Amino acid sequence: MRAHREKDVQKKIRIEGYMENIEKTVKDEQREGGDRMWGMIATWRMAAEGVEKGAGMLKAGGDAGDAIETAIREVEDFPYYKSVGYGGLPNEEMEVELDAAYMDGDTLDIGAVAAIKDYANPVSVARRLSRENVNCVLVAEGAEKFAHKEGFERKNMLTDRAKAFYRKRVQQDRAEELKPYAGHDTVGMVCLDQAGKMTAATSTSGLFMKKKGRVGDSPIAGSGFYADSKVGGASATGLGEDLMKGCISYEVVRLMKEGLHPQEACEKAVERLDAELKARRGAAGDLSLVAMDREGRWGAATNIQGFSLAVVTEAEELTVYLAKRQEDGHCTFEKASKEWMDDYMRTRMAPVE
C-alpha cells in the first residue's frame, strides 16, 4: 500500500516536471522567437504622455518594469492632475497622503506604499519594496523611513493650487459624500514587454478630503492591480472601498486565465460586482477597469459614463479612448477627438475659482 503511494507520488512529480518543462519551452520559444508583441494600457487620459514614454522604451526592447515606472512617474510629476502625485488633493487635515503599488508578473513580486507623505515618486518606492521578501508593503511613517534610507527624492507634494481646492471645499458643504471626482482618479497601468514580462502599477492621492490614514484599493494587491505574465494583468480605478469588495483586478486575471478575452473579463467583473453591490447594499460606487493579456489583447469596462483610457501596442498606435457603457453592460470605445483632448487639458489647467 505504502509502496503504491510512493510510486504515485513519484509519478506525479515526474508529470509535473514534464509539464513545467513544456511550459518553459513554450515560453522561451515565444520570448526568443518571432512573437515580439508589446503593449501598455492605462486608466484615464492623464496617463497618455507617460504611456507614450513607456511605449518608446518597450518598442526599443525595454523592460516592462522600467517602462511602467517611467510612465507612472510622468503622471506623478505633472502638477495639474489632482489625484496623483505632485498636485494631488489633500486629506481633511490638508496633507497629501499617497498610495502606490508595483507588481512583477514574472516573479509575482509585489511592493506597495500607503499614506506616504513628502516623497516625489511613490511608485518608485513601491517598486523598490517589491524586491523585498518581507516588509514589502509599508504605510505612512514606515514607508517614509524606508524611502529616506533608500535615498528617494523628498518633496512637499502640496501645491498652492491643491490648497486653493481645499479652501474652496471647506467653504462648501463638508457633509457632501466623498466620491471620485469626474475625470480624475487613480492612474493604473498594465504593461507587456517584448520578452513576455508583464507588470502592473498604480499611483493615487486617493479621495479628496479622506480621513488621515485612509487607504483605498490602489496599493492593495488583487484590488487595485494584479499581473501574472502567464496570463495578463489588470488595474482598477474608482471608489476604492467598493473595488476592494470584489478583489476586482485579480478577478479579471482569473477570468482571463479561464480563457476569456480581456474585454469579456473586464465587462463580466464590473457587471457582477456592480450587481452584487446594488443587490446587497442598494448602491455601487464608480468601478472602472483596464486589462491586457500576454498576447497584447486589451479590454476595459466601467459602470460610469466618462471613463477614458490610453492604450498602445506593437500593432496599435497610442490612442485615448472614451469608454461608453451600453445598457446591457457591454462597453464600446470611441477615439477621443482633438476637441475633447484640448478641452480636457484646458479644464485641468483652468484657474481655481
Q: List contacts with ligand GLY (CB under 6 A).
A: 185-186, 204, 206-207, 216-218, 237-240
Please return the burial class of 250, using the count of CB atoms within 10 Å of its CB with bins 0-12, 13-18 and 19+: middle
Please give the residue whose beta carbon sits closest to ligand GLY in the complex: 216
> In the complex with ligand GLY, which residue's Cβ is closer, 62 or 240?
240
Give the shortest CB-3-to-ligand GLY separation in angstroms.
Answer: 56
Is residue 86 within 8 A of residue 47, CB to CB? The reply is no
Whose Cβ is closer to ligand GLY: residue 62's or residue 238's?
Answer: 238
Catalytic site residue 186?
Answer: yes
DSSP 140-201: HHHHHHHHHHTTPPB-----HHHHHHHHHHHHS-TTSPP-PPTT---EEEEEE-TTS-EEEE
Which of residues 260 and 284 has its CB atom nearest to ligand GLY in the complex?
A: 284
Measure the CA–CA gap between 285 and 41, rounded to whole angstroms: 23
Cβ at position 207, least distance to ligand GLY in Å: 6
CB burial of residue 24 (10 Å; 0-12, 13-18, 19+): exposed
Q: In the complex with ligand GLY, which residue's Cβ is closer, 193 or 242?
A: 242
Contact in structure between 105 and 141 (CB atoms under 8 Å): no
Nearer to ligand GLY by Cβ, of 90 and 238: the residue is 238
Cα separation, 107 vs 37, whole angstroms: 20
The least CB distance from residue 185 to ligand GLY, in Å, is 6
Q: Which amino acid is at 247?
A: C
Measured between alpha carbons, how far is residue 281 from residues 176, 186, 273, 275, 340 in Å?
19, 24, 11, 10, 35
* Cβ atoms 266, 301 nearer than 8 A: yes
CB of 216 to ligand GLY, least distance (A): 2
Catalytic residue among 70, 159, 186, 237: 186
User: Catalytic residue positions?
Assistant: 186
